[in-house]
Chain A
Amino acid sequence: MIKKLKRLKELLFAINADRIVTSLGGEIDADNKNPSPLKSLSRILVTRGLLVDLLSSLIFMMTSVSLSVLVELYTPQKDILYNLRYSVVILVVLFLIARRLRVYTLAVFPLHILSFAGYLIFLSTATPVFSSASSIVVFVTVAVLNFAYSIICIARPRTGKLKTDGALLSLVTNILLFIPVYYLDEGIRVLYYDRLFFNIYGIFILFFIARQISEFEDGYYHSMRSSIMPISRIRNQNYKTIIFVVGGSLLAMVMLVLVPINFLKKYLLYYFQRFMEWLFSHFSSTGNKQVLGLMHDLPPELEEAEEGEVPAYLNSLFYVVIAVVVIAFVIMIIRFIIDATKNLNRGNESNTQLSEFVTDTIEKVNAESGSNGRRNNFGKGHERAVRKKFYAAVKRGIHKGANINRSDSPWEMASAVKSATGKSIDELTQEYEEVRYR
């Protein structure tokens, strides 16, 4: 008991910054020498692991908003100012700042209480939260949950590396919340399903960003804090990955929400049916335009027929065609982005004197022919056909273990292919030589 009291006393009267930095495995005052993007803040806040801590707090915040749904189940009112619950982000940020200030640990607790009180005053004066008891209960629950989270963070400081168990727990909690929501009325059930899905999506994104930063900064700690490494370039590369992945998924989500998929699908399916009808009617001896037995003659908005009336094989064929088109479209977008970012590069060479003893030179190199992802130039017409056949035969031989070098002649390659596969390609080789070297 005395030991616990002593420990508590040490905790309360320790310098908060020292406590955090030591627990993160760093040196005292190391933050002041840290070449972090948040260098300017490091005098008043412990900036090491700040972004990861913020993102972890936001993950918990989203879970607390989801848990408020559980509280709502026992209140007479439902769907009480749901979107306003996200204003607790102000409190989360205040708590984060309070627990990372370079002050005595004992001072951190009053700061928390002050922040909590300030948030409640904000809710009472600027929002209609305090107009009903149910809304007060819900909002105070969310605030108290985040307060408890922050106190736990102080009592058990996290290591610099992001722990996956917190995000996993949040994810599981949100998924389990689908169970009590299932018993709500249908109208509000669908609404809460969408909200829970949004929270799950948000947790995924926040966890991905936090993990990407944490793995980078802490997995390669010494390199990232070295004055002779091209840190800004490497860090920017990591940020680009984050932006690319998050941006892409956000775009996909927006398209899913905004684009009327079902409506589009019905129209596309209708015209796909028309096209298949026309195609088969040309090859049908009876000339019957309705060889496929399709029922729909009118566009979807005038037709009340259900999707289930479409034959299954046609439905499957339709989905395959759509999948191919979508994949081709995505590949086209990706190539466009890659080409666009290539053109935005700052220049072909940069020469940096990192220190008195280390110099870096970063430059672009020309892509080798045939290595830019495009196919080899086989010529045209008959020459193209023959050369492609020979190329494919040699590739098959290589896969079977033929020892073929770039400098080998066509007959040497044919010999190697024959010994590896057992098949003779002499005629093809003869033809290849004629078209290639005439």
Chain B
Amino acid sequence: MTIIVFIILIGILTTIELRIYMKHALRKLDIDVHFSQEVANFGDTIDVVEIAQNNKRLPLPFLILKFETPLAIKFLDMTNVTITDNFYREDMLTMGAHSRHTRKIKVNCQARGFYTFPRVNASTSDLLLIKKMGKDFTPNSSITILPKIISNKELQPLMSVTFSETTARRTLLTDPFSFAGIREYQPTDPMRSINWTASAKAGDFMVNTNTSTSDRHINLFLNLDFYNTKKSDALLEKSISLAYSYMMELCNQGISVSFFSNGKDIVSGSPVSDMSDSASSGSTSIGQRGIELARIDLKKPASSMTELLEEYCLKNFSDNLNVIISANYDEKFRASLSKLITNGKRILWIMPCSNSDKLSSKMEPEADIAPYFHRWEVVGRD
């Protein structure tokens, strides 16, 4: 009889304990997983912060926090991390009564993009480890990783071409404050241009020459159409990095840039274009453009580049240089470039490509485009 009573008592106590934990274990439990900052540069090391707070008297033996992060965000400590399509991490936290456990894990930002936590799950057990209880939480945190910045050394050839294009004499109007050089006097030169000091030295009349009046402004177009049948995106990523680095360098040089792209935002789905003047807005504008570039989703089909060029380049009567970064070289695109050239527009086509790819006949630009074509080689295979 005593044994039966003993067994029944154990059963009752165990059932009570189980019921209490099943009902209350996951109540008053605050779980938060977030990134330590909302925007990070490519290659930066930031923190993933896990916070679990138990706001009740009932202690939990432990709390297992599971969450996924995209592969672009790599944990520097890969303990308890499984790699498949995402990183799946499982952490065990202590959870006494009225306590908070905060864990900071260093991660490295390895790819441009806009990322959130797809899923966060917390599970625990009762004190006697009989029953496991779990609950999903919806995290609100996101991070935008800016495109990779290309080094000045790699960017130098492009910058040289850009500077030569922006400063070339295109109009008759000269800038009296920009000194270009001294030459011999010609009858058509005005008297006020005579440099008397140089004339005295040379023994003949010498005049000053000035550069063109030029409003240094560049329209930058980024074409994110696929460039091969495999729909690879390696060169498209390079194009985005190139566009971002290029804009930064131009801003540093005091050259204003208007940016246009046929890529689409990962969240809103709208095309990414920005008419604002980056030079006047400064680093804030560049930062904002970096965010816009980071949020481009290459999985979404790009809108028509031809229409974009027609709207913002062809119909624009300014004499600005139009730099087009495009790995895509299909006939439709080249036809639109030819049309721009025919209409007197100044263009510069920068084509990122792998240095292992030979320039096929299809990639060869037409005779009218060739003078404005610049091949920008990327190390390695596509």
Contact B99 A365 (CB under 8 A): yes
Q: Mark B1-41, 1 if CB is under 8 A from A, else 0.
A: 01100100010000000000000000010000000000000
Q: Does B363 contact A (CB under 8 A)?
A: no
Q: Does B267 contact A (CB under 8 A)?
A: no
Q: Which residues of A contact B6 (CB under 8 A)?
A: 197, 200-201
Q: Which residues of B contact A215 (CB under 8 A)?
A: 129
Q: Does B180 contact A (CB under 8 A)?
A: no
B194-217 residues with Cβ-Cβ distance < 8 A to A are: none
Q: Mark A221-239, 1 if CB is under 8 A from B, else 0.
A: 0111011111101100110
Contact B103 A237 (CB under 8 A): no
Complex CA distance for A342 and B96, rounded to whole angstroms: 10
> How many residues of B are counted as interface, with CB atoms below 8 angstroms from the partner's CB atoms?
37
Q: Which residues of A contact B96 (CB under 8 A)?
A: 237
Complex CA distance for A338 and B93, rounded to whole angstroms: 21
Q: Do A241 and B3 form a contact, CB below 8 Å, given A230-B92, A361-B102, A362-B99? A: no
Complex CA distance for A215 and B131, rounded to whole angstroms: 11
Q: Which residues of B contact A377 (CB under 8 A)?
A: none
Q: Do A229 and B92 form a contact, CB below 8 Å, given A204-B10, A365-B53, A367-B98? A: yes
Q: Do A197 and B3 form a contact, CB below 8 Å, given A241-B128, A365-B55, A368-B55? A: yes
Complex CA distance for A90 and B75, rounded to whole angstroms: 50
Determine, out of A140-148, A301-309, A351-359, the stretch whose residues face the partner at the interface. Answer: A351-359
Contact B61 A241 (CB under 8 A): yes
Q: Of the candidates A223, A357, A362, which one forms a contact with B76 in the assembled complex, judged by CB atoms under 8 Å apart?
A: A357
Complex CA distance for A224 and B80, rounded to whole angstroms: 10
For residue B77, which residue of chain A has the nearest CB? A357
Contact A175 B61 (CB under 8 A): no
Contact B101 A361 (CB under 8 A): yes
Complex CA distance for A204 and B96, rounded to whole angstroms: 27
Q: Of the candidates B61, B64, B80, B128, which one forms a contact with A237 in the assembled complex, judged by CB atoms under 8 Å apart?
A: B61
Q: Mark A355-379, 1 if CB is under 8 A from B, else 0.
A: 1111111111111100111000000
Q: Of the candidates B56, B57, B75, B129, which one forms a contact with A219 in the assembled complex, judged by CB atoms under 8 Å apart?
A: B129
Q: Which residues of A contact B79 (CB under 8 A)?
A: 226-228
Q: Mark A187-230, 1 if CB is under 8 A from B, else 0.
A: 00000000001001100100000011001100110111011111
Q: Do A371 and B99 form a contact, CB below 8 Å, given A223-B90, A358-B105? A: no
Taking the closest CB of chain B, its distance from the CB of A63, in whole angstroms, is 15
Taking the closest CB of chain B, its distance from the CB of A336, in whole angstroms, is 14
Q: Which residues of B contact A355 (CB under 8 A)?
A: 77
Taking the closest CB of chain A, its distance from the CB of B61, in whole angstroms, is 6
For residue B99, which residue of chain A has the nearest CB? A364
Q: Which residues of A contact B3 (CB under 8 A)?
A: 175, 197, 200
Contact A234 B94 (CB under 8 A): yes
For residue A216, which residue of chain B has the nearest CB? B129
Q: Do A228 and B77 form a contact, CB below 8 Å, given A197-B2, A362-B94? A: yes
Q: Which residues of A contact B94 (CB under 8 A)?
A: 230, 233-234, 237, 362
Q: Of the candidates A361, A364, A371, which one forms a contact with B56 in the assembled complex, judged by CB atoms under 8 Å apart?
A: A371
Q: Which residues of A contact B99 (CB under 8 A)?
A: 362-365
Q: Of the candidates B57, B103, B127, which one forms a contact with A241 in the assembled complex, judged by CB atoms under 8 Å apart?
A: B127
Contact A212 B80 (CB under 8 A): no
> How many residues of A are counted as interface, with CB atoms below 8 angstroms from the partner's CB atoms?
45
For residue B54, which residue of chain A has the nearest CB? A365
Complex CA distance for A204 and B55, rounded to whole angstroms: 34
Q: Does B104 contact A (CB under 8 A)?
A: yes
For residue A232, which residue of chain B has the nearest CB? B94
Q: Which residues of B contact A368 (CB under 8 A)?
A: 55
Q: Do A364 and B2 form a contact, CB below 8 Å, given A223-B80, A357-B77, A358-B105? A: no
Contact A363 B103 (CB under 8 A): no
Complex CA distance for A414 and B356, rounded to whole angstroms: 77
Taking the closest CB of chain B, its distance from the CB of A174, in whole angstroms, is 9
Q: Which residues of B contact A212 (CB under 8 A)?
A: 128-129
Q: Which residues of B contact A216 (CB under 8 A)?
A: 61, 129
Contact A360 B57 (CB under 8 A): no
Contact B129 A360 (CB under 8 A): no
Contact A222 B80 (CB under 8 A): yes
For residue A214, which residue of chain B has the nearest CB? B129
Contact A365 B98 (CB under 8 A): yes
Q: Do A359 and B100 form a contact, CB below 8 Å, given A223-B80, A223-B92, A226-B80? A: no
Complex CA distance for A233 and B93, rounded to whole angstroms: 9
B84-127 residues with Cβ-Cβ distance < 8 A to A are: 90-94, 96-106, 127
Q: Which residues of B contact A229 (CB under 8 A)?
A: 80, 91-92
Q: Which residues of A contact B75 (CB under 8 A)?
A: 357
B28-84 residues with Cβ-Cβ distance < 8 A to A are: 28, 53, 55-57, 59, 61-62, 64, 75-77, 79-80
For residue A178, which residue of chain B has the nearest CB? B3
Contact A230 B93 (CB under 8 A): yes
Contact A223 B64 (CB under 8 A): yes
Complex CA distance for A207 and B27, rounded to whole angstroms: 31
Contact B106 A358 (CB under 8 A): yes
Q: Which residues of B contact A231 (CB under 8 A)?
A: 92
**6 pairs, A vs B, C-beta closer than 8 Å:** A204-B10, A223-B64, A234-B62, A358-B103, A362-B101, A371-B28
Known pairs A338-B57, A357-B75, A361-B100; list 5 more (Cβ under 8 Å). A230-B93, A245-B128, A358-B105, A365-B53, A373-B57
Chain B residues packing against A (C-beta within 8 Å) = 2-3, 6, 10, 28, 53, 55-57, 59, 61-62, 64, 75-77, 79-80, 90-94, 96-106, 127-129
Chain A residues packing against B (C-beta within 8 Å) = 175, 197, 200-201, 204, 211-212, 215-216, 219-220, 222-224, 226-231, 233-234, 237-238, 241, 245, 338, 342, 355-368, 371-373
CB-CB nearest 6 A-B residue pairs: A357-B106, A357-B77, A215-B129, A223-B92, A357-B76, A361-B102
